[in-house]
């Protein structure tokens, strides 16, 4: 049986990309002192997360951050949003269970009513899925698609849970995907293992287990973590196991299918899960770290948004002026892996803006 689903899309390009992070900076050395005590320096070293950007709960959301990223892209690029006929919002932290974020984004950005708008509920593999769906949608509508991708995972990471307390940051991003006659083919590879649902899960708040009067109470769990039912529960070693066994294979398969080697790529863009994992996957794939941009040190893990945040923060000048060949992989809750090979640039990339909060 095949391990990966393979997809190819031709004649599309990323016309613009931007990101937005909260202005509020959390210093993990101070934040994590009470839970990690004298181990805090080692934990920061292992995860890589020195500081994170956090927005206030119930005040600023993934929708706010992503709409701001889109506005920033429009302001700085002059890109005509009248060309947009679709909005996709990738998030696992939407404003509401109903309606979705994409429809509100259409209204807040003043887009035409002739717009298809929907959310994709995916975590760390979400941006690559978003690119795939946006590419197909762009061809189908023969118009531009606005791909918004934002998360506020810090809001459901318990500050008392050793596994997750200082990992997560908040961010929103905007990418415009448009039809293009002479672009390189994009290739995608997907893998899913739903049997590992519980490895990364928010157990309460959905319809399998509705919120009740105990959902917001902190409890100590057998894994040692102290958290609420509405907080994220992570089996770190379970996720790690899945990633190390499957992400390199996914990237290898992608390179075989595209007849490429690491030398053919300018950039390996990995989901910023933690610095150790990024470095290990890069090493295993024989990519020098010069080709592997990282932002987890200053922004933390913003789940599905880490790949576009990293591109906007670290490669803005490069992709504004030239074409780069990317191989990218997002991996996490599901468990789910999505990898892609694509070209990016020259395009509009004003970088990262801040949301005052």
Partner 1 sequence: MKKKIFSIVSKIIESPVDETTDFKDINSLKLLQIIMALDEENITIPLEKIPSIKSVSDIIKFAQIEG
Using the rule CB under 8 A, is 245 a contact of partner 1? yes
Q: How far apart are CA 301 and CA 305, in angstroms?
A: 8
Q: Which residues of 4-42 are buried (b: 16+ CB within 10 A; e: fewer)?
A: beeeebeebbbbbbbbbbbebebebeebbeebbeeebee
Catalytic residue among 20, 55, 100, 124: 124
Interface residue with partner 1, options 78, 224, 259, 356 (CB under 8 A): 224
Q: How far apart are CA 321 and CA 341, in angstroms?
A: 20
Using the rule CB under 8 A, is 274 a contact of partner 1? yes
Q: Which is nearer to partner 1, 283 or 322 (CB)?
A: 283
Q: Which is nearer to partner 1, 13 or 271 (CB)?
A: 271
301 catalytic residue (yes or no): yes
Touching partner 1, residues 10-49 (CB under 8 A): 39, 42-43, 45-47
101 catalytic residue (yes or no): no
Using the rule CB under 8 A, is 280 a contact of partner 1? yes
Interface residue with partner 1, options 21, 163, 171, 255 (CB under 8 A): 163
Interface residue with partner 1, options 33, 185, 193, 223 (CB under 8 A): 223
Q: Which is nearer to partner 1, 20 or 292 (CB)?
A: 292
Q: How far apart are CA 17 and CA 21, in angstroms?
A: 14
Token pair listed for 42: 């080692």
Kindly indicate which of the ranges 236-244, 257-265, 326-334, 348-356 contains the residues binding partner 1, using the contact rule CB under 8 A.
236-244
Cα 277 to chain center, whole Å?
16
303 closest CA partner among 134, 133, 169, 115:
169
Cβ atoms < 10 Å from Cβ of 98: 5
Using the rule CB under 8 A, is 153 a contact of partner 1? no
Using the rule CB under 8 A, is 236 a contact of partner 1? yes
H-helix or E-strand containing 150? strand 144-152
Catalytic residue among 246, 274, 301, 347: 301
Min dist. Cβ of residue 46 to partner 1 (A): 5
125 closest CA partner among 268, 338, 340:
338
Cβ atoms < 10 Å from Cβ of 281: 22
Using the rule CB under 8 A, is 237 a contact of partner 1? yes
Using the rule CB under 8 A, is 276 a contact of partner 1? yes
Interface residue with partner 1, options 180, 240, 320, 351 (CB under 8 A): 240
Using the rule CB under 8 A, is 50 a contact of partner 1? no
DSSP string for 49-75: -SEEE---TTTS-HHHHHHHHHHHHHH
Q: What contacts 236, CB < 8 A, 6 or more positions away? A: 163
271 catalytic residue (yes or no): yes
Q: Which residues bind partner 1 (CB under 8 A)?
A: 39, 42-43, 45-47, 162-163, 223-224, 235-237, 240-241, 244-245, 248, 274, 276, 280-281, 283-284
Q: Among all residues, which ones are annotated catalytic?
A: 124, 271, 301
């Amino acid at each position: 049986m095949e391990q990966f689903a393979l997809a190819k899309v031709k004649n599309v390009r990323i016309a613009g990309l931007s990101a937005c992070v909260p202005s509020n900076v959390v210093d993990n050395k101070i934040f994590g002192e009470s839970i990690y005590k004298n181990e805090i320096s080692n934990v920061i070293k292992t995860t890589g997360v020195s500081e994170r950007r956090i927005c206030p709960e119930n005040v600023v959301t993934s929708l706010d951050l992503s709409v701001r990223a889109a506005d920033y892209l429009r302001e700085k690029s002059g890109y005509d949003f009248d060309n947009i006929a679709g909005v996709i919002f990738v998030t696992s932290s939407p404003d509401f269970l109903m309606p979705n974020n994409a429809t509100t984004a259409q209204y807040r950005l003043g887009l035409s009513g002739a717009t298809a708008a929907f959310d994709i509920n995916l975590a760390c593999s979400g941006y690559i899925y978003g690119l795939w769906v946006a590419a197909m949608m762009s061809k189908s509508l023969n118009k531009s698609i606005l791909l918004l991708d934002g998360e506020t995972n810090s809001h459901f990471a318990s500050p008392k849970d050793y596994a997750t307390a200082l990992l997560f940051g908040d961010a929103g991003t905007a990418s415009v995907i448009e039809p293009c006659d002479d672009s390189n083919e994009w290739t995608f590879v997907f893998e899913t293992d739903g049997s590992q649902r519980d490895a990364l899960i928010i157990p309460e708040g959905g319809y399998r287990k509705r919120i009740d009067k105990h959902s917001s109470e902190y409890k100590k769990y057998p894994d040692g973590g102290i958290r609420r039912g509405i907080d994220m529960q992570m089996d770190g070693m379970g996720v790690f196991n899945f990633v190390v066994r499957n992400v390199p294979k996914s990237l290898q398969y992608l390179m075989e299918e595209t007849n490429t080697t690491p030398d053919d790529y300018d950039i390996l863009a990995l989901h910023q899960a933690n610095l150790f994992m990024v470095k290990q996957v890069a090493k295993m794939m024989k990519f020098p770290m010069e080709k592997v941009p990282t932002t987890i040190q200053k922004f933390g893990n913003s789940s599905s948004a880490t790949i576009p945040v990293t591109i906007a923060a670290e490669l803005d000048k490069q992709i504004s002026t030239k074409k780069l060949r990317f191989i990218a992989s997002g991996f996490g809750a599901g468990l789910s892996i999505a990898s892609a090979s694509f070209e990016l640039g020259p395009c509009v990339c004003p970088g990262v803006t801040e949301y005052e909060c």
